[in-house]
Chain A
């Protein structure tokens, strides 16, 4: 039931999942660290292993534009990007979601310029957070593979019909080879039958896609679009449950570790959750109790579930791998703080900045965060400004 065990890096695992999903159209533009994904898919197509149109577009802007066209035509569509590529797509991200094109996009998370840096930050994921795309975060290569398959299932569900990003930390997951279990093709076929598009472009049944709204309709159309999101978690849960039956691998919106008796918690995204759990285990040996909360589902943001989990803690450290300049807090911190605003009992919240541009994030840093939370608990007051860990001492 678990499937075959193989060794792959994250990029190849994602490409392999897209191949098994039998995508019809791939639009592709290279950018490190996602390039291997589109290269691998090009190999599949040119070797005849995958019957799909591979569109080698001239920019990310066109990559997403072509993906929308193909998706509206009824095809199962995949693309991938990172960092500046996502930034170039940004205008079109909104349109993909608003036109309800269930494109799946892998994002090898990478820092935005300046200065140019090809390593991991979550700048790109966060930049897409208000555009209507669903976002899932992988913690390891197995998850990158699984979540790619799940993303098609969720995005194309008729209750959802929204484009979906699968985030995988640049280099840490995109380039590191790990052992993972892959499904048999026939199991993927049963989990992901060919897409059944709703209202695809059909010359026998002409429709107008993307018209002009004046003041009399724009707001109503936004309401319809907005109201979709509360229904999405149910679909995600169902997809996770079906996938668990097929693979034995259990996915949840929010992963909790050591949450039962701890009074402090770290909230984190992506591959660093593993590091945090490792460190939490070490701390426990010393009698220090810390929970690790990581989000697999980042958009829609699971605010109620997270509130229920976090309410009981005295101190919560929210770790951001990005900066939001001039904002009251960095991105994940703001999401968490907002989610907790109406909680009956509120933990003290600390914003921690870590790992920018691929800076190593080690168990030592997690311990620093733990010590910081202890101080905050003692003082009964959280620092106003974010605390940086892993910053170089000049």
Chain B
């Protein structure tokens, strides 16, 4: 009813469609994790499709007039309204296809964590509640990067940002990260998943599932940011992998009312392995902040155990 062509899952990276609709000549930083999810989404979601982008790194780095990296229709209106703009496009095509037989595209929305967890949250909630046929992809670099590394509702506890600097009195961000997926699920949507560039097949197939699901779906993508997290760009994928292996970024999906962990982590690596590679966490390894490190470790464990329980409720 919604998309005529079905997206197809892959078993190995060799099966990745060759077509590129995201040109390599963008200006995202070296080592940035964002372009992977964009390339994969444009490959996994069959044509016709339209991209809506919130303000942020992805937007500013790919559409510097007179250049564009986008081989599909791409729309940017503002920071906090990508989901609302997508709602309008989707509704318009629904009517135009009925009235004039216009092809109805799938709408893909890209928003950063700021544009999703914070300022764009209301518009996202509205779009999910109204049931528009769209794939919402939040690329989460865990801060407002485009304006210079300020904390967001997605910044993890303990991280140092320019508005939650690690100081003597307050050692970084003190609040936990919002749980986007569970908030999204609470809207009654059919599919939601977390993704990570170090697990590309898992990521691709989740986008495929979202593409084949009518109505709104939410994908939460972990994107390493060498600029904002202070690490060497060559270690981007290593850091992404560590986030999963330490259970900091569990890979799971919600489908047909069930939660399933898609990348089980039996023997987690120490979180210190992940922290020590990044400037934003370096202070956590100092003795005076041990209490905070312990708290973060407890949070990670609790979170994982909760997820296991949810996943068992089959």
A336 on interface, CB distance cutoff 8 Å = no
Task: Say which one of B61-69, B158-166, B167-175, B196-204 lies at the interface with A.
Answer: B61-69
Flag whether B93 is at the interface (Cβ < 8 A).
yes
Q: In the complex, what distance in Å separates the CA atom of A92 from the CA atom of B81?
A: 9
Q: Contact at B95–A65, with CB atoms within 8 Å?
A: no
Task: Tell me if A348 is interfacial: C-beta within 8 Å of chain B.
Answer: no
B123 with A65: CB separation less than 8 A: yes
Decide: B74 and A66 in contact? CB cutoff 8 A.
no
Contact B73–A206 (Cβ < 8 Å): yes
Residues of B within 8 A of A214 (CB): 64-65
The answer to whether A72 and B75 touch (CB under 8 A), given A25-B95, A61-B80, A66-B85, is yes
Bound together, the chains give a CA A51 to CA B66 distance in angstroms of: 38
A133-182 residues at the B interface, CB under 8 angstroms: none
Do A58 and B125 have beta carbons less than 8 Å apart? yes
Task: Tell me the nearest residue of chain B to A203, going by C-beta.
Answer: B48
- Taking CB atoms and an 8 Å cut-off, the chain B residues in 103-138 that contact chain A are 103, 105, 122-123, 125-126, 129-130
A77 to B52, CA, bound (A): 19
- Chain B interface: which size bin? 35 or more
B129 vs chain A, min Cβ distance (A): 7
A17 is an interface residue with CB less than 8 A from chain B? no
**A341 proximal to B (CB < 8 A):** no
How far apart sit A49 and B130, CA to CA, in the bound complex (Å)?
22
Known: A201-B73, A203-B72, A209-B75. A72 touches B89 (CB 8 A): yes
B72 to A: closest C-beta gap in Å: 5
B308 to chain A, nearest CB (A): 34
Residues of B within 8 A of A201 (CB): 50, 73, 75, 89, 105
Q: Does B239 contact A (CB under 8 A)?
A: no
> Beyond A24-B99, A65-B77, A91-B78, is A53–B63 a contact (Cβ under 8 Å)?
no
Inter-chain contact A206/B72, CB cutoff 8 Å: yes
Chain B residues lying within 8 Å of A56, measured Cβ to Cβ, are: 130
In the complex the two chains form, is A69's CB within 8 Å of B85's CB? yes
A residues near B68, Cβ cutoff 8 Å: 208, 211
Q: Do B78 and A65 touch (CB < 8 A)?
A: yes
A-side contacts of B66, CB under 8 Å: 217
Instruction: Kindly report which residue of chain A lies nearest to residue B89, judged by CB atoms.
Output: A69
* CB atoms of B98 and A75 under 8 A apart: no
Q: Within 8 Å of chain A (Cβ to Cβ): is B248?
A: no
A210 touches B105 (CB 8 A): no
Q: How many A-B residue pairs have CB under 8 A?
A: 155
Q: A203 to B47, Cβ gap below 8 A?
A: yes
**What chain A residues lie within 8 Å of B85 (beta carbons)?**
65-66, 68-69
A interface footprint on B279-293 (CB within 8 Å = 1, 0 otherwise): 000000000000000
Q: Which residues of B contact A292 (CB under 8 A)?
A: none
Contact across chains for B84 and A66 when beta carbons are under 8 A apart: yes
Cβ-defined contact, B73 with A70, below 8 A? no
Q: Which residue of B lies closest to A56 (CB)?
A: B130
Contact pattern, A 192-211, Cβ under 8 Å of B = 1, otherwise 0? 00100000011110111111
Q: Does B241 contact A (CB under 8 A)?
A: no
Q: In whole Å, how far is B304's beta carbon from the nearest beta carbon of chain A?
A: 33
Task: Say whether B88 contacts A67, CB under 8 Å.
Answer: yes
Please, how many angstroms separate the alpha-carbon atoms of A213 and B96 in the complex?
31
Whether the Cβ atoms of B50 and A75 lie closer than 8 Å is no
Contact of A62 among B64, B96, B126 (CB under 8 A): B126
Instruction: Tell me the smallest distance from the CB of A17 to a CB of chain B, in Å.
Output: 19
A/B interface sample: 28 pairs, CB < 8 A: A51-B95, A55-B88, A55-B130, A58-B126, A61-B122, A65-B84, A66-B87, A68-B88, A69-B77, A69-B86, A71-B92, A75-B95, A75-B96, A77-B88, A92-B81, A95-B77, A194-B100, A201-B75, A201-B89, A202-B73, A203-B49, A206-B71, A206-B73, A208-B74, A209-B73, A210-B75, A211-B76, A212-B63
Binding site for A on B (CB under 8 A): 47-50, 52, 59-60, 63-66, 68, 70-78, 80-81, 83-96, 98-100, 102-103, 105, 122-123, 125-126, 129-130
- Known contacts A57-B126, A207-B73; 9 additional CB pairs below 8 A are A24-B96, A62-B83, A62-B122, A69-B89, A70-B92, A201-B105, A203-B50, A206-B70, A209-B76
Binding site for B on A (CB under 8 A): 24-25, 27, 51-53, 55-59, 61-62, 65-75, 77, 91-92, 95, 99, 194, 201-204, 206-214, 217, 221
